[in-house]
Amino acid sequence: QSPINISEEGIHNFLTKLDKLQYEELAYDSTMKMPLRFEKVEDEINFVTFIDLLNFGSGYRVPLHELAGRGAFDTIRFGAMSFHIGGKPMDAETFKNISIFEVSEIFQLPIDREVRHETLDFVTMTEPTALKPFAAGLTTVLNTTGDYLKAHNYKDLADFIMNHVKKQPQNASYLVEQFIQAFPGLHDSYQFPNISEPVYLYKKAQIIVYHLWFTFREQLPQYFDFKDIDTLTVFSDNVIPTMLIHLGVITDVPEQWQQDINNNKDLSVQIATTLRAAGVVACEEIVKASKAGTGPVAHMTTEKCLASN
């Protein structure tokens, strides 16, 4: 039993204070719109999916800004643009064989640094930076993705995606399921000893499918104009519950949890998952209240319920 609660009063206050024009402006997801030219639609599908596949690492925010000069998401976008501009193929072969040193170079992540020996003058030693585990994580996701694509005779991610949208056109839920089954980097479910049911979140798989819909629903409507797009949940990461706590929607958070959040301390997997799951439930309730007439935005969807914040 989770100690935290969802506040109806908090939901009402959030919705009634919304600025409708601001909400509609911010609900337009411009993060994937970049001034790049793609020779064919498959290249753009690869580009969009690549960014979302690697969209993690918010816990490295501080060392990323210190050592790389940009945050987690901008680091991934920078790497994607480096692939594109440098003509490096985003294909199964490249992903399968890419090394941490190549990742470090492409994403401009310093993974080692030289330091003076503690006792020997004029002697330097190499030690890993705080970003080496992040670079290792990126490498692992790319390697395992390449392994799957090669093993199943897919040239690249676009080949995988087009194969499935042709089998089940305009079906977001089906495509999310295929991503989850295929790629270890998208696994986002948890089983805890004191809880009978598993917790399924699947943030990254859902956000990939959402961005495929957002980017290609007009270009290739026969495949990507998903009729069930509104069945996706909010893409719940560590930011969503933090925002909902701030807004008074998630309440009764244990004091120690709140202290750790305020101090940017790592939460246990179970606590972090509990908060992320609460974020999903809270956003479902926000959308339900919005559609019932609370506040100025009647057409709100779960994936955009916190757009204006």
Q: Taking residues 59-85, what's their average pLDDT?
A: 93
User: What percent of the chain clears pLDDT 70, i.e. is strictly above it?
Assistant: 96
308 pLDDT more than 70: no
Q: Which domain range does residue 80 map to?
A: 5-117+126-304
Ramachandran bin of 3, using left for φ above 0, alpha for ψ from -120 to 50, beta for the remaining angles: alpha
Is residue 179 pLDDT above 60, yes or no?
A: yes
Residue 48 maps to a domain: yes
Pick 54 or 123 by higher pLDDT.
54
Does residue 97 lie in a domain region?
Answer: yes
Per-residue pLDDT at 309 exceeds 50: no
pLDDT at residue 97 tops 80: yes
Number of domains the chain is built from = 1
Do the domain assignments include residue 254? Answer: yes
Which pLDDT value is given to residue 123?
Answer: 67
Decide: 153 and 144 in contact? Cβ < 8 Å.
no
Question: What is the pTM for the complete model shown?
Answer: 0.89
Predicted local distance difference test score (pLDDT) of residue 306: 59
**HEC states along the chain?**
CCCCEECHHHHHHHHHCCCHHHHHHHCCCCCCCCCCCCCCHHHHHHHHHHHHHCCCCHHHHHHHHHHCCCCHHHHHHHHHHHHHHHCCCCCHHHHHHCCHHHHHHHCCCCCEEEEECCCCCCCEEEEECCCHHHHHHHHHHHHHHHHHHHHCCCCCHHHHHHHHHHHCCCCHHHHHHHHHHHCHHHCCEECCCCCCCCEECCHHHHHHHHHHHHHHCCCCHHHHCCCCHHHCCCCCCCHHHHHHHHCCCEECCCHHHHHHHHCCCCCCHHHHHHHHHHHHHHHHHHHHHHHCCCCCCCCCCHHHCCCCC
Residue 309 in any domain: the answer is: no
Whether the pLDDT of residue 139 is over 90: the answer is yes
The answer to whether residue 105 is domain-embedded is yes
